[in-house]
A and B are shown apart, each in its own frame.
Chain A
Amino acid sequence: MNLFQPFAVPYMQRALVEVLVLGALAGAVGVLVVLRRLAFVGDALTHTVFPGVVIAHLLGRSLLAGALAFGVLTAVLLTTLGSHRRVGNDAALAILLTSFFSLGVVLISRTRGFTADLTVFLFGRVLAVDRSDLYQTLAVAAVAALTLAVVHKELVLRAFDPEAAAAMGYRAGVLDLALNLLIALVVVAAVEAVGTVLVIALIVVPAAAARLLADRVGAMTALACLLGAAGGWLGLAVSYQVSVDHDLRLAAGATIVVVLVGLFLLAAAAAPLRRRLGRGRVAAEGGAR
């Protein structure tokens, strides 16, 4: 299989840039999601942007703008509802996820030929990304990267030791809102390419794989970005090759997710091996002394 040949055509080049940027960004944000054990929050967000996408489609506006509005709305609602002592995070999530998602389904089921649109929103169409879509993704990704740069070390501190973070004067609500907004931005940026359902895989899978292999947040982040981008690239190449060589249509977004899960399984297989090597090294150093 050739990893470069599929990207000779412009639409594949745009798709490649899109998945490389998304893979790296989702990987970096995913590290914080995995360290905070908030994968389910990410999953909820992927469903709650759905009505935003539908409304934007009905109004003939940018899907990304619709997703952005609902992503931010969810991040705010989630942070405020989740901190309410009698509601709690898990109930807030379940309420928001189901109510927003069904709102989206109700709205789109009123239009004609809605199953085709539904498929696009749920699973994306990375091969149809045009120049302006790409610029929008890049703009949202830039905002997310900037936000990440501002609050990264504080979010790691909150993940590690929330009591000490609060004692140092960091407000839990502010940091949680920042993280929820970050997740929302990634979901929004990825909506066009991989759809609302699959984006959670982009966030969680590379970070979870990196978690198995890395002992420092920095190394874990670098590895998650790398795995996310590599999964995007490989997934696109595979789906293209298979459809050209074997005349089998493989949905690009879903192929990317399958490749990512494959990388995760490789990491899971390599983790015990790495640990054994690490122990061997420590023993050798101890013996040398």
Chain B
Amino acid sequence: MAPDPVLVLQRATVAYERDPVVEGVDGEVAAGQSVALIGPNGAGKSTLIRAVLGLVPLTSGTIEVLGRAPQAARRQVAYVPQAETLDPEFPVSALQVVLMGRYPRVGWVRRPGAADRQAAQRALAEVGLAERASARFGTLSGGQRQRVLLARAIAQEPRLLLLDEPFNGVDALSQDLLLVALGRLRAGGAAVVMATHDLGLAHLACDEVCLLNRHQIGFGPIGTTLTPELLRATYGGQALQLRGDGVIVARP
């Protein structure tokens, strides 16, 4: 018997003031699986991630994380934002950023203890930044900052990991290290959902894909779902058919 899925979406729909932002998303993500959310800007990828985090209410349908409502499962879920959205002048070290992932366990009043520091150090080592623990977050490169944020998520010991464009503006070395760290998380039984523009990296990092453009166009194994027809349906005029099977997606 297959184990219970980590994430289940059934006709999940989010609307702001009656305009649907993302509509009718169906799918399941099992432990150790990785799903790429693919679609043009404004397709509803970020909104779907926020819905899985329980930060925006569904107008219809359901989302279950580990058999519970998203709000009730937050301790098991980690979110990795885009590094470039954070203030590089903020006075924190890389290690302090990773330690923030331990706050929900540490609780109010108390400060992170020795065990939390060890977990944070281990997480930094996982992304190849053990040496830069005491560097100020903003002095790191874009790719290194993204790795610090993944380390923070690792320190949360999540069973579901949500990432928003984790490879945007990331150098090749950081990209490889992110892929390795994500692979290790999945091997440890975490499920991964990432929004991405990059079809090549989606192939490397994920085994399933969810094609979105305000509504779900396809959900399934990446090899059979990332087809020219479905990509054209997802991206509309931005997709160019090459000779043979190839499709180029022009970024807006």
Contacts and interface: CB of A to CB of B under 8 A. Distances in A.
Contacts of A163: 79, 81, 85
Interface string A142-175: 0000000111011011011101101111000000
A216 interface: yes
A201 interface: no
Given A149-B109, A167-B55, A169-B75, A161 B91 contact: no
Interface stretch (B96-104, B123-131, B181-189, B219-227): B96-104
Contact of A161 (B53, B100, B111): B100
Given A163-B81, A169-B104, A214 B109 contact: no
Most buried by A among B77, B87, B103: B103
B91 A168 contact: no
A216 B53 CA distance: 30
Nearest to B112: A153
Contacts of B85: 163
Nearest to A157: B100
A217 B104 contact: no
A215 B91 contact: yes
Given A163-B79, A215-B136, A216-B92, A168 B103 contact: yes
Interface majority SS (helix, strand, loop, mixed), chain A: helix
Contacts, number: 64
Contact of B97 (A35, A160, A166, A215): A160
B72 to A, nearest CB: 10
B74 interface: yes
B103 A160 contact: no
A168 B104 contact: yes
B167 to A, nearest CB: 18
Contacts of A167: 53, 55, 74, 77-79, 162
A60 B92 CA distance: 48
A217 B103 contact: no
Closest 6 CB pairs of A and B: A167-B79, A169-B74, A167-B53, A157-B100, A168-B104, A163-B81
Contacts of A20: none
A216 B91 contact: yes
Contacts of B79: 163-164, 167-168
A64 B92 CA distance: 36
Contacts of B90: 35, 159-160
A217 B91 contact: yes
B91 A220 contact: yes
Interface in A202-247: 211, 214-217, 219-220
Contact of B103 (A157, A216, A220): A157
Nearest to B108: A150
B248 interface: no
B74 A160 contact: no
B93 interface: yes
B86 A161 contact: yes
Given A157-B103, A168-B103, A169-B75, A217 B111 contact: no
A44 B112 CA distance: 34
A164 B74 contact: no
6 contacts: A153-B100, A157-B100, A160-B86, A167-B79, A216-B91, A216-B96
Contacts of B93: 216
Nearest to A149: B109
B53 A153 contact: no
A217 B99 CA distance: 14
Contacts of B81: 161, 163-164
